[in-house]
């Protein structure tokens, strides 16, 4: 410190350091209070000059090295990592720029957030700011690309992260979707869709090769087979005519009874792949009483008791003694009434005791003498008309008719039979649940008295069958919630069984009728077409194979065996075989049977022949297959008998709709297969006939509306030993494609 004094003033000159460490001169002046202001100002002026002179002197001394050197950059006053340079200017140093990734004046530096300034990372990939710099997370799932990190905004802007979409559908694993399903790539992901064309299933159960009747590439059926049913990728196959097996494997079937001549290697062990035990004689039940591998139909000694069938009074039951206590044709060993003659051997309740000696024929617990329906089970014995005949078997349950006469064999007693049927479906108007719409089947799924054919809501669940807000996805089963999990348009409750009859649709011969599940002629009505006279006996029907085979053994009057099931549209097929060489007359089948005066018949004569009774008119039968519409004004009797025998039209009796132009008769011991398609709603009829695998006759499309539906059966006239084997029927209301030209013609005719 330097002391200076002048008069009443003392000045102190001293060094001082500021807060930045810089050294400077300071002056403190103490003034005597009595000192005049003027004098003070003069003093201060001179004092400032002196202080400036002193400061310059000191600085010059420093430059000349007259003082001890001290660095302004040690310690470094700049931000960590920033260079410091000494200068001659105040404050004696200068800081360099802030490090990359930060900003400031060098003395102070703050980190730059490149993520905020430059947004360098891919959308969806997280940007992480570091000090200094930044880094990007890996590309998000569904993308591939580089990982980016660096320092500074410029670098961040110039080096942005790039992520490209991954095409998962081409990764060799179909993106994780089910094999053979559609995989659709999306930006950053993918979407699994339905199965590819040619495959069926979903993402849950997978996609398997589609089975379809539409194309040979997908058709699983044998080359000699065909599709009969297809739904949701499931196909049911059947072998073509003249072939047998499970439809996926087929072998030759000479007798066309549904069993191949040789065993077939079917993986499902289907019985129809087993070798036929009667290669040349139809026997669709493969009955073999003595288990010798030879079917009863072609075994000369079917029961193996050493007695030939023609002499054996029990063909299927061994009885070497041939004992026969009664006077019928059956030995005691096989006679269900050994002490009561009963050649029919009828056993209504199937209890092993023939009706002729059974005290309770129908097995309903009520003795025959007290039972008002002795042949029809009815334990309640209801009898509304009090005529002594229970409602269960009464042909007029509301009209007294104790005699139960039914002249036309239509199952409606004469006392209540009006024969008024305006829609022509075989049901008189008073009993028809759709009197103006043909519906011979009379189906009424909700039991409301209105037939399904004219009921807008068949199951009464509030969802109309066809009109908005319908259609009902389970038309025959009550399901107001319309639940359809797989979205195939078929409700869950009827997915596999549309009519809810416990038989799955592929096995159900009428998938839309709970009343019909399989072909069965075990219950049948015998109709005698020439009841007068005794020149010939009535037919003798034997039903085999659970109702799918019928045998007629006698040379008889014209007659029918008619099943009780009535049909609308139907496909009906069977094998026809005459198992003898001793006769040459008529055999065939019937459809749309409504009564003994109204039915269609397909009949076949072997040779030309005039009927031996020339009254009431001469009738000549020509060989060849014929289709006739029977609409007789007289009903069963000699008029209808001769009209049936005669080839051609017979006024008021029979119209000939078609005859095979080949004029070829049937051959002895040869199997033929017929196929009938009948759509009574539009009058469509078509008949095809096969001999072995060859189509030998085809009626083409016949349009006739004489009968609008009815029952099915078989027909014989003076011919013995006829076999109708492997009988099959199936409900079918689908209009065939070959009807379309006729539809246009019919429409034009109406106009």
* pTM score of the predicted model: 0.74
The phi, psi pair for 12, rounded to 5°, reads -115, 120
The confidence score (pLDDT) of residue 36 equals 47
Domain ranges for the chain, please list them: 2-63, 168-209, 524-740
Query: What is the chain's mean pLDDT, rounded?
Result: 89
Neighbours of 194 (CB within 10 A): 14
What percentage of the chain has pLDDT greater than the value 90? 69
The answer on pLDDT for 21 being more than 80 is no
The confidence score (pLDDT) of residue 262 equals 97
pLDDT, mean of residues 421-445:
96
Residue environment code for 89-120, b if the CB has 16+ CB neighbours within 10 A, otherwise e? eeebbbbeebbebbebebeebebbbbbeebeb
The confidence score (pLDDT) of residue 275 equals 97
The confidence score (pLDDT) of residue 123 equals 87
pLDDT band, very low/low/confident/very high, at 31 (cuts 50, 70, 90): very low
Q: Dump the DSSP string for 348-388.
A: TT-SSS-GGG-SSTT-SSS-TTT-SSTTS--TT---TT-SS
The confidence score (pLDDT) of residue 715 equals 98
Whole-number Å distance between alpha carbons of 151 and 117? 12
The answer on pLDDT for 246 being more than 70 is yes
The phi, psi pair for 229, rounded to 5°, reads -155, 135
Helix (H) or strand (E) holding 746: helix 740-750
Going by C-alpha positions, the residue among 215, 219, 166 that lies closest to residue 190 is 166
pLDDT band, very low/low/confident/very high, at 375 (cuts 50, 70, 90): very high
The confidence score (pLDDT) of residue 633 equals 97
Higher pLDDT, 99 or 435: 435
Which range is least confidently modeled, 7-11, 288-292, 355-359, 408-412? 7-11
Going by C-alpha positions, the residue among 331, 332, 328 that lies closest to residue 342 is 328
What percentage of the chain has pLDDT greater than the value 70? 88
| Residue 42: DSSP 8-state | H
Coil, strand or helix at 43:
helix
pLDDT, mean of residues 626-637:
97
Structural tokens at position 197: 């064309």
The confidence score (pLDDT) of residue 147 equals 87
The confidence score (pLDDT) of residue 599 equals 98
Q: pLDDT digit string (tens) for 523-574?
A: 999 999 999 877 678 899 999 999 999 999 999 999 999 999 999 999 999 9
Which range is least confidently modeled, 65-79, 199-213, 691-705? 65-79
Whole-number Å distance between alpha carbons of 658 and 698? 10
Burial of 271 (0-12, 13-18, 19+ CB in 10 A): exposed
The confidence score (pLDDT) of residue 19 equals 43
Whole-number Å distance between alpha carbons of 136 and 750? 81
Beta strand residue intervals within 470-623, DSSP E: 524-528, 541-544, 549-552, 559-567, 570-578, 586-595, 598-605, 609-610, 620-621
Residue environment code for 658-679, b if the CB has 16+ CB neighbours within 10 A, otherwise e? bbbeeeebbeeebbbbbbbbbb
pLDDT, mean of residues 574-580:
97
The answer on pLDDT for 720 being more than 60 is yes
- Cβ atoms of 555 and 718 within 8 Å: the answer is yes
The answer on pLDDT for 503 being more than 80 is yes
Cα separation values, 94 from 20, 70, 81, 90, Å = 13, 16, 14, 9
Domain 168-209 in CATH 2.10.25: yes
| Residue 536: DSSP 8-state | S
Q: pLDDT digit string (tens) for 669-688?
A: 999 999 999 999 999 999 99
Q: pLDDT digit string (tens) for 589-607?
A: 999 999 999 999 999 999 9
- Cβ atoms of 432 and 423 within 8 Å: the answer is yes
Provide Rg for the chain, Cα atoms.
Answer: 53
| Residue 320: DSSP 8-state | T
Whole-number Å distance between alpha carbons of 207 and 201? 5
Whole-number Å distance between alpha carbons of 608 and 141? 87
Q: pLDDT digit string (tens) for 271-285?
A: 999 999 999 999 999
The confidence score (pLDDT) of residue 201 equals 79
Q: Return the percent helix, strand and coil in the chain, to nearest 5.
A: 15, 25, 60
The confidence score (pLDDT) of residue 677 equals 98
- Cβ atoms of 320 and 333 within 8 Å: the answer is no
| Residue 537: DSSP 8-state | B
The phi, psi pair for 156, rounded to 5°, reads -65, -40
255 Cβ contact list (under 8 Å, min separation 6): 276, 278, 279, 280, 281, 282, 283, 575, 577, 671, 725
The answer on pLDDT for 608 being more than 50 is yes
The confidence score (pLDDT) of residue 432 equals 96
Please report which residue ranges of 231-342 form alpha helices under DSSP H: none
- Cβ atoms of 418 and 428 within 8 Å: the answer is yes
Beta strand residue intervals within 172-302, DSSP E: 181-186, 189-195, 199-202, 206-209, 225-231, 234-239, 243-245, 250-252
Give the side-chain half-sphere CA count within 13 A for 623. 10
For 586-607, the three-class secondary structure string (H helix, E strand, C coil) is EEEEEEEEEECCEEEEEEEECC
The answer on pLDDT for 328 being more than 90 is yes
Coil, strand or helix at 273:
helix
Strand order in the sheet with 149-150: 127-129, 134-136, 149-150
pLDDT, mean of residues 179-187:
91
The confidence score (pLDDT) of residue 704 equals 96
- Cβ atoms of 582 and 569 within 8 Å: the answer is no
The confidence score (pLDDT) of residue 228 equals 83
Burial of 60 (0-12, 13-18, 19+ CB in 10 A): exposed
Q: What is the dihedral of CA 262, 267, 272, 274, to 10 degrees?
A: 40
Going by C-alpha positions, the residue among 354, 349, 361, 301 that lies closest to residue 328 is 354
154-163, 261-270, 638-647 — most confident range:
638-647
The phi, psi pair for 525, rounded to 5°, reads -110, 130
Whole-number Å distance between alpha carbons of 660 and 625? 5
Structural tokens at position 106: 């060098």
The confidence score (pLDDT) of residue 90 equals 85
Neighbours of 635 (CB within 10 A): 17
pLDDT band, very low/low/confident/very high, at 268 (cuts 50, 70, 90): confident
Q: Dump the DSSP string for 643-693.
A: HHHSSS-BTTTEEEEEE-TT--PPPTT-EEEEEEEEETTTTEEEEEEEETT
Going by C-alpha positions, the residue among 392, 426, 421, 434 that lies closest to residue 409 is 426
Whole-number Å distance between alpha carbons of 101 and 711? 97
The answer on pLDDT for 522 being more than 90 is yes
The confidence score (pLDDT) of residue 435 equals 96
Tell me the CATH architecture of domain 524-740.
Answer: Sandwich (2.60)
């Amino acid at each position: 410190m330097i002391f200076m004094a002048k008069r009443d003033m003392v000045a102190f000159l001293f060094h001082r350091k500021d807060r930045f460490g810089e050294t400077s001169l300071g002056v403190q002046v103490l003034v005597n209070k009595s000192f005049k202001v003027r004098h003070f100002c003069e003093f201060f002026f001179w004092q400032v000059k002196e202080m400036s002179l002193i400061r310059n002197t000191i600085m010059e001394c420093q430059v000349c090295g007259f003082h001890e050197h001290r660095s302004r950059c040690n310690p470094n006053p700049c931000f960590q990592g920033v260079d410091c340079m000494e200068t001659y200017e105040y404050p004696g140093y200068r800081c360099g720029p802030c490090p990359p990734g930060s900003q400031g004046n060098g003395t102070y530096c703050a980190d730059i957030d490149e993520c905020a300034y430059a947004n360098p990372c891919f959308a969806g990939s997280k940007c992480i700011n570091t000090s200094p710099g930044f880094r990007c997370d890996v590309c998000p799932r569904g993308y591939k690309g580089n990982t980016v990190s660096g320092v500074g905004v410029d670098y961040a802007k110039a080096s942005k992260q790039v992520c490209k979409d991954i095409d998962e559908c081409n990764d060799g694993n179909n993106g994780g979707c089910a094999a053979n399903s559609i995989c659709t790539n999306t930006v950053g992901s993918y979407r699994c869709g339905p199965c590819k064309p040619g495959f069926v299933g979903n993402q849950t159960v997978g996609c398997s090769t589609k089975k379809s009747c539409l194309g040979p590439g997908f058709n699983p059926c044998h080359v000699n087979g065909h599709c009969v049913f297809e739904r949701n990728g499931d196909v049911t196959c059947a072998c073509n005519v003249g072939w047998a097996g499970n439809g996926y494997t087929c072998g030759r079937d000479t007798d066309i009874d549904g069993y191949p001549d040789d065993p077939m290697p079917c993986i499902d062990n289907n019985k129809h792949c087993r070798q036929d035990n009667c290669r040349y004689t139809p026997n669709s039940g493969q009955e073999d009483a003595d288990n010798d591998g030879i079917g009863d139909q072609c075994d000369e000694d079917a029961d193996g008791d050493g007695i030939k069938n023609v002499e054996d009074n029990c063909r299927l039951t061994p009885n070497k003694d041939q004992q026969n206590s009664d006077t019928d044709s059956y030995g005691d060993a096989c006679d269900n009434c050994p002490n009561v003659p009963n050649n029919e051997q009828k056993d209504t309740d199937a209890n092993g005791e023939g009706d002729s000696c059974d005290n309770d024929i129908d097995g309903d617990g009520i003795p025959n003498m007290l039972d008002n329906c002795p042949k029809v089970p009815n334990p309640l014995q209801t009898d509304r008309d009090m005529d002594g005949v229970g409602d269960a078997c009464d042909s007029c349950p509301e009209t007294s008719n104790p005699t139960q006469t039914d002249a036309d064999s239509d199952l409606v007693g004469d006392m209540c039979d009006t024969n008024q049927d305006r829609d022509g479906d075989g049901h008189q108007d008073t009993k028809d649940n759709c009197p103006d719409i043909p519906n011979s089947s009379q189906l009424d799924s909700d039991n409301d008295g209105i037939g399904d054919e004219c009921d807008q809501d068949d199951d009464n669940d509030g969802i109309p069958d066809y009109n908005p807000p319908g259609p009902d996805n389970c038309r025959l089963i009550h399901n107001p919630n319309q639940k359809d999990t797989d979205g195939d348009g078929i409700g869950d409750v009827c997915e596999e069984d549309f009519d809810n009859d416990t038989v799955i649709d592929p096995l159900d011969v009428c998938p839309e009728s709970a009343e019909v599940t399989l072909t069965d002629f075990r219950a049948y009505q015998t109709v005698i077409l020439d009841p007068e006279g005794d020149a010939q006996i009535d037919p003798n029907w034997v039903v085999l194979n659970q109702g799918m085979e019928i045998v007629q053994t006698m040379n008889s009057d014209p007659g029918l065996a008619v099943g009780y099931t009535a049909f609308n549209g139907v496909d009906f097929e069977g094998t026809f075989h005459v198992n003898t060489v001793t006769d040459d007359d008529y055999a065939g089948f019937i459809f749309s049977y409504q009564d003994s005066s109204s039915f269609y018949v397909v009949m076949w004569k072997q040779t030309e022949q005039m009927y031996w009774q020339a009254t009431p008119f001469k009738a000549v039968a020509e060989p060849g297959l014929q289709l006739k519409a029977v609409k007789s004004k007289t009903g069963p009797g000699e008029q209808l008998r001769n009209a049936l025998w005669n080839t051609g039209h017979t006024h008021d009796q029979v119209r000939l709709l078609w005859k095979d132009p080949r004029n070829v008769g049937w051959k002895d011991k040869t199997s033929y297969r017929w196929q009938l398609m009948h759509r009574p709603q539009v009058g469509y009829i078509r008949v095809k006939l096969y001999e072995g695998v060859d189509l030998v006759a085809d009626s083409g499309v016949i349009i006739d509306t004489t009968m609008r539906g009815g029952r099915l059966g078989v027909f014989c006239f003076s011919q013995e030993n006829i076999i109708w084997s492997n009988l099959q029927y199936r409900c079918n209301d689908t209009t065939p494609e070959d009807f379309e030209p006729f539809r246009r013609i019919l429409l034009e005719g109406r106009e």
